[in-house]
Amino acid sequence: MDKQQKQLLKKFYTLLGKTGIGHEGKEAILESYGVESSRDLSARDLLDICDKLAMQADPKLKELDVWRKRVLAALFKYCASVGRTADMDYVKSIACRATGHQSFNQIPVGRLINIYNAFKNKIKDVKSVDWITRNELLRNIHLN
């Protein structure tokens, strides 16, 4: 067992305590990952479990997670609406530039809500302008 996995195990047990999950709950978690002992969990599985437990322990983290996902979805949709292919790094960089933060995970909930709404409105604007443009083109074709 490497150092990272030991640290994650410690975090796992700390979060179990913070969330009030007892022995039966721990056993259910382990069973859902197909292992009998927490030592059998991979580092990836431990990270996943710890993230879920941390959100359960702190509702603010859950709200942050929800808004981050909404912003990412809105940005991907915006990129698609303007014909731009995008990957996760590109979309996160847009969010960072829009808010003036160095890291996507540093953006507070209030700013996430702002840029979510801004890009949702941009998507509506792009669709509206596209619709008007198509109708004008069709109208001009019929007139000629």
Same domain, 53 and 67: no
Q: What is the dihedral of CA 50, 51, 55, 61, to 10 degrees?
A: 140
R_g (Cα) of the chain, nearest Å:
22
Same domain, 129 and 81: yes
Same domain, 10 and 44: yes
Same domain, 51 and 113: no
Q: Is the pTM of this model over 0.75?
A: no
Domain of residue 94 covers 62-143
Question: What are 97's two structure tokens?
Answer: 């530039």
User: Is the model's pLDDT at 20 over the cut of 70?
Assistant: yes
Which segment of 69-83, 97-111, 115-129 scores lowest on mean pLDDT?
115-129
User: Is the model's pLDDT at 54 over the cut of 80?
Assistant: yes
The H or E element containing residue 68 is helix 59-81
Residues 112-142 have pLDDT tens digits of: 999 999 999 998 888 888 888 877 777 767 6
